[in-house]
Amino acid sequence: MISPSEYPAFRDIDLQAGKFLGRLCKSPQHASLISLAGACVSRAASEGHICLPLDMLQEQLSILSGGEKYTKSRLQEALLLTGVVTSPGNAAPLILDSQDNLYMYRYYCYERVIARQLLERCQHSESFDVQAIHSILESLFSGYGGMATPDLQLSAAALSLISPLLVVSGGPGTGKTYTAARILAAHIALAERPLRIQLAAPTGKAAARLKESMLSALSGLDETVSRHFPDDVRTIHRLLGFRPGSGQFTHNRDNLLHLDLVLVDEASMIDIPLMAALLEALPPSCRLVLFGDRHQLASVEAGNLFGDICGAATGGWSTDRCRQMKLLTGYMFSPNVNASPMDDSLIELQKSFRFREESGISKVARAIQSGKEETLTACLASRHEDFFHYGGCCPEEDQDWLKRFVEKEYRPVLAAGSAKEALQHFEKSRILCAVHHGNLGVHALNSQVERILAIQNRSGGQHYQGQPVIILKNDYDQELFNGDTGILWPDASGRLQGWFPAADGSLRRLSPHLLPLHQTAYALTVHKSQGSEFSQVLLALPERDSPVLSRELLYTGITRCKRELTIFAPTQLLLQTMKRRIKRYSGLRQALHLYPKISVC
């Protein structure tokens, strides 16, 4: 059996998983092998992988077993002899699929449920009324019929009317909210009866922002359409009826949601188990629209779901889909002869409406996305009105970077006249970090901000007026969830309270002593900032390279900013970070191509 002293690279939970599988092994001579393989699969899941390719397992086993070599065929045979590993279509703790990926059983099932559900929606064809759709698109898009270059927002709305599944990817400022509102308006206008529509997002923060942006997007819509707009935005957990005690959902394959259309924002934040649960709870007749940015960080949990869904497409619609879209929009699209069903349900918004062509924020985001060193270097060396880079090479210039930001952005929070005013000031700006610890981590920068603001008596962790806080753990009783932010401020009687935005736009209060696990929120990790946008962002990378640094993290941090971005990081570290891509192993892309040949749970 394996022990922590022999294999210090594993977490205790990985070792325990390996030992458990070793005890289940039906072949004593392979018990050690399956214990190590189980520990490797468990560790892979903790690192964000849905499965572990067999060639990767071969390498790891060779190192862990002191150089003993396994050929792929010998390893396959040995694993299947243990009784702990089986092929698709059977049940066992581990599944070895036809692509030589080793899965935990539950992750294999999640992945196959997602592939089956998505493709069944993709492949479902419906008849449509060309003239009715023409009329609706003309009323919603002022440029309808008058543009030589395809209007991708209009095209997305048209595609949503003929495809039960629509996946829309787009970067910052590409008009995702505008497009989402027009999609809903098109469906409402085309329907012969009132539709049951639900808006959803992975987190409370993202749900609140979706509601706010949807309300602002109603302007310009016909009143007969806008009055039927959904005014309820829910987290996916709330939509499905999460039961905290059991970890199960009220709505599932046996108790479907009664909905005609579900639109989900920030889909890149959705993990594999949650997407599987959502898809199984939707009736076959329900349309699904997913919005996200394929280039952002994936979910904190295992998998890169939205990236895999978008990556399953090979680029461009099929000949039939191009013909349909020309009928509806008048635009000519080049067909993709190798198009998969996912291709025909995907569209990527590319034009940015938020930033001017000369915007530094836009340029640095595109440079990071391109991965080209010379492009990023030129961008960092140029002067911009909305982007500033401090690389630590000019100490006199760099030493006050934090103080300037804090005095400008956070001092007004403390000077506010009410909790509402303080929270409004605070939500405009944020310091974003890649890591928690170190001189440029969340904890150190929160402390530095408090010193600059001359916050007194903070050594004991006391609460104080004007303190921004972020919730770190879900509390269903208090209806406060991981990622929610609020402000501590006195009530009318002078007692300090925690004030948090409510669904109706008001503030609700709670005693600081009743708050779930939380921390000061002047500085957050980039991961915690997902689903949020700020007018001003200061992005601080650690002084030295770290495994968490990646192109996706850098891009996500930069694209949280709408107006003024400051990056504090050495140029060489930025270049290194841009070159490092997050690689998460999964079989979803292949499954979306191979279905219906794949086995499902």
User: What is the secondary structure of 243-298 as a DSSP string?
Assistant: ETTTTEESSBTTB----SEEEES-GGG--HHHHHHHHHHS-TT-EEEEEE-TTS--
**Alpha helices (H) along 163-203:** 176-190
Give the rounded percent of residues in the chain with a pLDDT score beyond 70. Answer: 93
Distance CA 94, CA 83 (A): 9
| Cα 570 to Cα 52, 190, 377, 413, 562, distances in angstroms | 35, 54, 12, 30, 23
- What pLDDT sits at residue 245? 77
Q: What local confidence, expressed as pLDDT, does residue 262 receive?
A: 98
> Which pLDDT value is given to residue 318?
93
Residue pointed to by tokens 């291709």: 343
Instruction: Please give the mean pLDDT across all residues of the chain.
Output: 89
Determine contact, residues 533/209, Cβ cutoff 8 Å.
yes
Q: Are 418 and 489 in contact (CB under 8 A)?
A: yes
As its CATH architecture, domain 129-354 has 3-Layer(aba) Sandwich (3.40)
For the stretch 14-27, pLDDT in tens is 999 999 999 999 99
Amino acid identity for residue 496 in this structure: L
The pLDDT, as a whole number, for residue 126 is 75
Q: Each residue of 401-459: pLDDT tens digit?
A: 889 999 999 999 999 999 999 999 999 999 999 999 999 999 999 999 999 998 865 55
Q: Could you report the per-residue pLDDT of 334-362, keeping only the tens digit for each?
A: 999 888 889 999 999 988 777 776 789 98
Helix/strand/coil percentages in the chain, nearest 5: 40, 15, 40
Position 350 scores a pLDDT of 87
Q: What is the mean pLDDT of residues 240-250?
A: 88
Reported as a pLDDT band with limits 50, 70 and 90, residue 396 is: very low
| Model pLDDT, residue 394 | 45
Report which of residues 193 and 66 the model is more confident about. 193
In whole angstroms, how far apart are CA 555 and each of 103, 232, 352, 585? 30, 30, 15, 21
pLDDT score recorded for residue 12: 92
Q: What would be the CATH architecture of the domain defined by 4-110?
A: Orthogonal Bundle (1.10)
% the chain with pLDDT above 90: 67
Does residue 2 surpass a pLDDT of 80? no
Query: How much is the pLDDT for 540?
Result: 95
pLDDT at 594: 66
- Mean pLDDT, residues 65-88 taken together: 88
Q: Which CATH number fits domain 360-579: 3.40.50.300, 3.90.226.10, 1.20.1250.20, 2.130.10.30?
A: 3.40.50.300
Total residues belonging to the chain: 601
Q: Which helix (H) or strand (E) holds 137?
A: helix 130-140
Strand order in the sheet with 387-390: 387-390, 561-568, 534-540, 429-433, 523-525
Residue 216 phi/psi, 5-degree rounding, is -70, -25
In sequence order, what DSSP letters do the residues of 457-469 get, joined into one string?
STTTT---TT-EE
- The pTM score is 0.90
- Mind listing the pLDDT tens digit for each residue in 207-239? 888 988 888 888 778 888 888 888 889 999 999
Peptide bond into 516 cis (omega under 30): no
Residue 348: Cβ within 10 Å count: 17
Supply 88's token pair. 């698709």
Residue 41 is predicted with a pLDDT of: 96
For residue 255, pLDDT beyond 60: yes
**Residue ranges matching CATH 3.40.50.300 in the chain:** 129-354, 360-579
- When pLDDT is cut at 50, 70 and 90, the band that residue 595 belongs to is low
pLDDT digits (tens, 9 = 90+) for 93-138: 999 999 999 999 999 999 999 999 999 998 877 788 899 999 999 9
* Cβ-proximal residues to 536 (8 Å cutoff; 6+ apart), any chain: 405, 408, 409, 428, 429, 430, 561, 563, 564, 565, 566
Whether the pLDDT of residue 399 is over 50: the answer is: yes
For residue 293, what pLDDT is reported? 93
The pLDDT of 371-393, averaged and rounded, is: 88
List the beta bridge partners of residue 170. 349
Mean pLDDT (whole number) for 38-51: 95
What does the pLDDT average to over 154-179? 93
Residues of the chain with CATH 1.10.10.1020: 4-110
Q: Which of 387, 388, 467, 375 is nearest to 422 (CA)?
A: 467
Q: Which is nearest to 118 in space by CA: 335, 241, 288, 265?
A: 288
Q: What are phi and psi of 291, to 5 degrees?
A: -115, 140
Contact 289, 179 (CB under 8 A): no
Residue in the block written with tokens 């099929």: 318
Render pLDDT for 298-322 as a digit per residue (tens, 0 to 9). 888 888 999 999 988 888 999 999 9
What does the pLDDT read at residue 5? 57
The tens digit of pLDDT for each residue in 494-527 reads 999 999 988 677 899 999 999 999 999 999 999 9
Is the distance from CB of 322 to CB of 339 less than 8 angstroms?
no
Degrees (nearest 5) of the Cα angle 599, 297, 442?
A: 135
* Torsion region of 413: left, alpha or beta (phi above 0 gives left; psi -120 to 50 gives alpha): alpha
Q: Which two tokens stand for residue 165?
A: 């599944």
